[in-house]
Structure formats: C-alpha cells, structure tokens
Chains A and B, each alone.
Chain A
C-alpha cells in the first residue's frame, strides 16, 4: 500500500503531466492549440488532489518504508525512497498550495498544466528520495520545468531568453550538487543519503571542504541568494500564480530542504562551516541591499523571502538545524502572502504586507532571541547585530510600504459591501489589522524612533545605493555583463588569433616557407641545362661521399 501511495504522489503527476505536454505539442503541430476547457481543469484538480491525498496518507503511516528500488545508472547503486516526516510535510504543504491555486490558474495551453504536474511529481520525489542520484535527477527535472514555463507563457522572444537564463543559472547549482554527489560516491562508496552522510564525517578535510563548498553553492543557487538571485527575480515576469508556486515556493524550498537533508555536513568541520556561514551571511546582506533598492518594485517580496531563506541557511550552518523545517513548513503560507501581495487592491496588499511584516518580525525575533547564545561563530554578537538590523530594516520597509498603501487609499480602511462578497479573505484581514496598521502608521510617521530609524535608514539606504552602484550596477551587473562579453570576446579573440591567425597562420607560414623553398630549389635545378648538370654533379658527389664514408 505504501508503494501505491508513493507512486500516486510521484509517478502519477509526472506521467499525466508528460501526457498533457505531448498532447499539447500534437495540438500545436496541427494548429489546434487553444486554452484548456473546464474538463481539463477538473482533471488537473483531480490529479493534484490525488497527490495531496497520497502525501497525507503517507504522513499517517509513520515508520513504514516503501520497497521501491530502481537500478538506473551503472555503479551508483539502487535508487531508493526514504519517507522522512520532514520531507513528507514539506511535500504535502507544497501540493496543498498547488491545489489551492487551481481556481486561479489561467493556463494558456495544456502544456502549462503538464509542466505544473511534472514539477509537482518531481519535487515530491526529491523530498522523499533516499538516494542522491534520484534527488539530483528530480531537481534537474524541476529545474527544466521551471525554465520551460516562461517559454510557454511569455512567448518565443522574451520567453526563450528568460528560459535560457534561468536554466543556465540553475545548472550552476546543479553542477555544484553533482560534484558533491560524485565525491560522496568516490569517498563513501554509496549514494544512499543516510549511509553516505554517516561516513562523510570521516572524510579527509580537503574532501569535506570540496563537498561542503559545492553543496553550499547548490543551496545558494536554489534559494536564490546573491549573486544568483536574478533567476528568482526572473519569475516576476510570469503571471503571479505560476510565479508564486514554481519560482517562489518549489525551487527555493527544495534548496532549503537540501540544506536540511545534509545537515551533519554543515557542522562537520567548524572552520569550513564558519566560511560557509560568513559567505551565506554576506550574500544574505547583499540580497537585503537589493531588497531595499527594490522596495517598490516586483522583486521586493521575492528578495525578502530569499533573505529569510538565507538567514535560515546561515543559522542552520551554525548548528541551529531545527530552524529549516520551520521555514519549510511555512512555504505554503508565504506563497499565499506572495499572491495577496500581488493583488491589484491597495488594501489587500497593505493587509498582506502588515501580516507578513509582523509574522516575520515575530518569527525571526523569536528565533534569534532563543538561539543567540548557541551560535558558534567567532564574533557572533557582531553577526547577530547585522542580522537583527537587517531584519528590523526589512520589516521597517514593509511597514513603510503599508503606510504608503494607506496613503494611496486616502485615509482609513473602509470595506465596501462588494468587497466583503468579492474578497472575503482580504476583508477579514483588513478589519482585524486596521487598528494595528494605524498604530504602526503613527509610530513610523510621527514618533521619535521613526526619526532615528529614518536617519539610520537614510544612511543605510545611502550605503545601499552606493553598494548598489558599486556592486550591483558597476560590479555585479557590469561585471556579469563584462564576464559574459569577456567569455564571448575571449572566444572571438581565440577564434581570430588562435584559429585564424596563430595556429593557422603559423601553419600557413610553414606552408608558404615550404612552397618558397621548393620554388627556390626548383629554380635551382630546373630550367637551364647547366643548372641541371650542376645538380647532377652535386648529387653524385654526395652519393660518392656517402658511399666512401
């Protein structure tokens, strides 16, 4: 029975998704392509519901493991499933989130449904896989679907560029993950996650350094930390519903879950962990800087979520591993907030922002307060201050944005009867949060802390802008563009100078030299008779000398 639930949770959505995708391709080839009707929507809902039921059923069967083992790649062992509670809960949360989105998905074709189903099944497989290869393949499939979605939705020109960009960035993380996997294979002799992690603590320090570094890279890319945050931001070009699920929920959650799954490694070598932690913190702060810059733009919520993932990863690397499940379980909730945040209504956005701000402040404040003394990094107080400041500033900007929304609505929040009917969630949210919002509004706009904060904010924003100019605009953007152009130029230069000039030029030179020499020799011994006779005489002389010698 466990096997059946596992298959329903993973293979069913993938198979149906592939079927839908193929059918869509056939329709496109025959020029019969159109948006799917309600029957397809019901079918899609049914499949997602089956996935959710399977995940919940597996949650209700704790301790039972399926007997599924796949032998695929040579010399990498049987790929097995391991039903851990954390993976199942996260998979269930994401599947329920997708189920909740069904009414608001507006597919352009069956391919949309197909990609969502394949992603759902592959992500579930990644959460419950007990073997590194299976997890890698599942992550690759999810990455491919995520990259293909813009191509399907945004059209050929923009979509193809976004797809290419997203896929290449995600492959950087996959390259890191694959490196770590192959190191596990070599030094642990197995790719079973539990066994290889158990052995990994006895790896040589240099190998552990490689493993931790490359796994860190994989996590950084998948959660979208600076400088890899742009693939997550690219999702903002999509409609908000698939963006919320594919870009903001699935892949970052998979990245964070990867960090959780390989937890013994993060604390294996304290100096290496410290380096990973410092780099993670720096990347988180730089993402925060980017967040401050995009406070009014579409990337704000995206980056804000990434910052939280970065903080979770940072704390996890410091030994506070229990934080990751907390963040993971909230993935669905954050997704809902993300959707509400993209609502056209100012009121709904204000309410959502306030809730997100308060919840985030409470969540991280609580975590930091509880775990402050347990951090093992040298100079942790300083780091904590940076983290707290970053969180406070982020929340401050959230509240500031709330205030701006309120100003846009001109006065206090009033709820019309139409809104009560049309947007019951928003109405409930706003009516309960109204007083709190007003209080925050006063605090921010009039009280002393506001001025202090303002001063600090101006300074931080100034630094942020400077950093943005230096790092993002002048360094990151320019340097990335320069890097890309550099690679291209290097290629072109190599092509021109090595292919055309140097190597071929050298060969051409040799050829010319040989031809010139040949012509010279030819001119010596051909033509006039006396030259021929001279050559005959010289040749005979050489032969005689050789014979005598």
Chain B
C-alpha cells in the first residue's frame, strides 16, 4: 500500500479506531480519554497535511474496493484539491474542540463516551469529504448526523435537549432525504455511483439537471442552515455542549457547501446551472440579512453567534451562486475562515458562560475588567467577522463580493455588500455590551480561566490575523480545486 493511501486511511480510521478503544476500555481511560482523543485528532490532522506533496505530484491518492459488484457499487476513497481544504478544516476544528473540552467538559465516568462520539462525529465528516462514491458519501453523511445528535441528546444543556436533538435530527434528515433522492436520480442516470464516473458521464437533459440540482441545493441548504431551513440551528447550537457547538458551527455547516461543490457544481457545467444563479444569490442575501437581524434581536449570547452562522452561510451561498471563479474561491475560503472565527467566538463565549453561568446579554456587562484576554480575543473575533482588514474574513468577503460584481446582477451584489453592515452592528454590539459596559453587580469579581480553554482561543485570534495577512497559500490550494468544478473552463 502506498504511503499516501495509508495516510488517507489514517485520516478516517484513526478517529474511528480510537473511538472503539475508548468505548471498550472506558473504565481504564476515563481520566485520559481527552488526551487520547486529542492524540488521535492530531494524527488525523498530520496525516491530512502530509498528503499535500502527494497532491502536488500525482493528483491525490485513490482507493477502490468492490462492495456490491452486481449494482456497480464500490467503496471508493479519494483525496483531491476540492477535498483538502475541508479535510484540514475538519481535522483542525476537531483537535481544537477536543483540547477546549479538556477545560470545559466536566469529567465523569461517561467522559470516554463523550470523546468517542466526538471522534465518530469527526470521522463522519472526514468520511463524507473523502468518499468518492455515493453510497459511502451518504453513509458517512448520516453517521455525522447520528453522532452529533447523540452528543446533543446525552450531553446537551437544559431540559429540552431531547426535543432539540429530535428537531435537529428531523430537520437535517429531511435535508438528507432530498440529497438521497438526488443521488438516486444521478445513479439511475449513469448506472454508476463513483464521483469520477459522474464527472465524466452524467448526460442529462436540462430538466433533469434542474430537478437534480434543486434537490441537491435544498438538501444541502438544510445543512448550511439557510433561511428558512435554519430552524434547527439556533436550538442545536445553544443546547449542545460548547465543544460540540464548535464542531457543529465551524465544521459541520460547511459540509453543505462541500456538497454543493461536490455534486451539482462538479457534475454539471456553468451553463447548465445558470438558472440557479439568481435564486442562490437571492437566498444568500436574504439569509445574510435575516441572520444578522436575528442576531441583533436575540438576547442569549450563544444564540447570537448561532444566528451569525445563518448570516455567514448566506455569504457562502451567495458566493457559490455567482458561479464565478472569484465567488466560488471566496466561498470556499469563507468556509475555512468562518471555521476559525466561529470557533474563536464560541470558545470566547464559552469562557464567559463557564465563568459566569449566565447566557443572557442583559445580565452580562463590563466583563473586560475581569477577563481582559477573553475580551481582546472576542474583540478580534468581532472585528474579523465584521470583515475588517487585515483579518481573514475580509479576504474571503472581498472575493465573494468581487464574484458578485462579475455577474450582471450588480444590485444583488450591492445588497450583499451593504447587508454586511448589519454584521458589523451585531458583532460590535455583542462585544461592547459584554465587555465594555458598566459591570453588573451580580457578575463575578475574579475568575479562573482554564488554560486549555484560553490557549486555543488565543491561538485562533492570532490565526485570524495571520490568515488575513497571508491568504495566498489557502487561495492557491483553492484555486487548484476550481479546475475540478463547473467543467473547469474559467
């Protein structure tokens, strides 16, 4: 077996194997489960990074195993330039979430199960992105849902966690079913379930293209939490324990964007997808503005950032909808940068919630005095999400808006650009209310912040600046991906 294929398998198998070990030896590892899980996530991340030279040299590792030969169904794994940014983002977010959980998660006898499920969740995301056939893709897609749902159900906060988990499951499963319908239609069209075969041989009428694409886009928009399919998100993000929230917001939401890139955009050409330009751009702008308005109206700090995800996913959908080089590159960059900033904001707010035990913004104020470093990190997060240069989101928004102006729909691009002012408003409102107002008498005087929660938060703040100043490496990766989609003729 080639070393690059082994590395690809390690990305997928290391978390799964570790999860099994944690479950089997749960009594012996209840105190060390977090470290074991982090080591596994680190191995997975290093394996993903080690594949960069292979991608440059040979176009990426492939693994194909027969599964149901009579139906032409195989177990295929493949890593290409489209997969790489997503795999690295997922692995990084998993590692950071696990490290954050060391300081956030209360340890008990169930802790090994918690970390095991986190790893299964990570494995689900890695499998979804590495899968090169429909069956495997859908299997991992559902594994991701089951693991995250179980995490919310068993470790969620508040008495409504079961109801929220059910709501989350039903909503996202509804999206999954739409995706499944589209997958079956594609399979019937080609008689093959591998993506490489789909890319080369999906000859469909325009009506079929529109039907399949509509199913895919609506299905993936549920995962992306685009308005009005977002209703699962605020509840799930609020009830889930913070490490799970970070993984949901920073990594799992981007799976929807990956799905849109992997299926309709990889299979069909730009011309075939033209009827979706305006609907996707409009839906993106509406989601962007609506999410920001909801964030302004919300009082629960965790829900404010959750609604900001609805808004940020709007930017991504808008960028994808432009069907331009800049728009799609910007949307993919936004996936990565949004992961950084959303993890940063949730981590910083997690520190606040952990220290004060409060989530209502009306009860929290003037915390900058007692947690100045958290205030600075949240400030950086707010400036980043507001698209202030030289922080990273500015770079991706620049490309997304540039893509918008490349279309004939200037008014939509202007609406998206000016709609971003609402992002500035809620981001600054959140930070100034939390950290810079007069301190409420009921809030704490002095806090102990675990280093395990503080170090990743500071690291992400620095990363937001570094990525903003040096966007070229990420952009170069993503530019390679664009040869794989919409026919590759730019």
Contacts and interface: CB of A to CB of B under 8 A. Distances in A.
Interface of A: 25, 28-29, 71-76, 136-137, 140-141, 144, 151, 156-157, 159-161, 163-164, 167-168, 171-172, 175, 178-179, 182-183, 185-186, 206-207, 210, 214, 487-488, 490-492, 494-495, 498-499, 503-504, 507
Contacts of B479: 74
B471 A73 contact: yes
B231 A499 contact: yes
A11 to B, nearest CB: 14
B323 interface: no
Contacts of A163: 428, 432
24 contacts: A29-B373, A74-B329, A74-B479, A136-B389, A156-B437, A156-B438, A160-B432, A163-B432, A164-B428, A167-B428, A168-B421, A175-B417, A179-B414, A182-B413, A183-B410, A185-B405, A186-B402, A186-B405, A186-B406, A206-B410, A210-B414, A487-B293, A491-B296, A495-B294
Nearest to B395: A73
B228 A488 contact: no
Contacts of A161: 432
A405 B293 CA distance: 49
B437 A503 contact: no
A178 B401 contact: yes
Interface in B360-418: 366, 368-369, 372-373, 376, 383, 386, 388-390, 395, 398-399, 401-402, 404-406, 410, 413-414, 417-418
A156 B325 CA distance: 44
B402 A140 contact: no
Contacts of A160: 432, 436-437
A129 to B, nearest CB: 13
A141 B391 CA distance: 11
A216 to B, nearest CB: 14
A185 B326 CA distance: 12
Contacts of A28: 372
A4 B78 CA distance: 51
Question: Which 10 A/B pairs are nearest by Cβ-Cβ distance?
Answer: A491-B297, A160-B436, A160-B432, A491-B293, A74-B475, A156-B436, A186-B405, A182-B405, A492-B297, A164-B428
B418 A175 contact: yes
B425 interface: yes
A159 B436 contact: yes
A171 B394 CA distance: 13
B420 interface: yes
Q: Considering residues B326, B398, B421, which has the most beta carbons from chain A within 10 angstroms of its beta carbon? A: B398
A161 to B, nearest CB: 7
Given A140-B389, A167-B428, A210-B410, A179 B417 contact: yes
Given A74-B475, A161-B432, A490 B293 contact: yes
Nearest to B407: A186
Contacts of B425: 168
A333 B43 CA distance: 64
A495 B297 contact: yes
Given A157-B366, A160-B437, 11 more contacts: A25-B372, A151-B436, A159-B436, A167-B424, A175-B417, A183-B405, A186-B402, A487-B296, A491-B294, A491-B296, A494-B290
B231 A507 contact: yes
A159 B479 CA distance: 43
Nearest to B372: A29
A137 B390 contact: yes
Given A73-B471, A179-B417, A156 B401 contact: no
Contacts of B471: 72-74
A74 B399 contact: yes
Nearest to A31: B372
B455 interface: no
B472 interface: yes
A208 to B, nearest CB: 12
Contacts of A159: 436
Contacts of A495: 294, 297-298
Nearest to A187: B405
Contacts of A71: 472
B424 A75 contact: no
Interface string B302-340: 000000000000000000000001100100000000000
A29 B326 CA distance: 42
B429 interface: yes
Contact of A168 (B298, B424, B472, B475): B424
A252 to B, nearest CB: 21
A186 B413 CA distance: 12
A498 B293 CA distance: 12
A538 B296 CA distance: 56
Contacts of B326: 75
A144 B298 CA distance: 26
A487 B294 CA distance: 10
A159 B366 CA distance: 12
B388 A140 contact: yes
A179 B383 CA distance: 20
A173 to B, nearest CB: 11
Contacts of B296: 487-488, 491
Interface string B279-307: 00000000000100110111000000000
Contacts of A74: 329, 395, 399, 471-472, 475, 479
Contacts of B398: 73, 76, 182
A79 B141 CA distance: 43
Contacts of B475: 74
Nearest to B429: A164
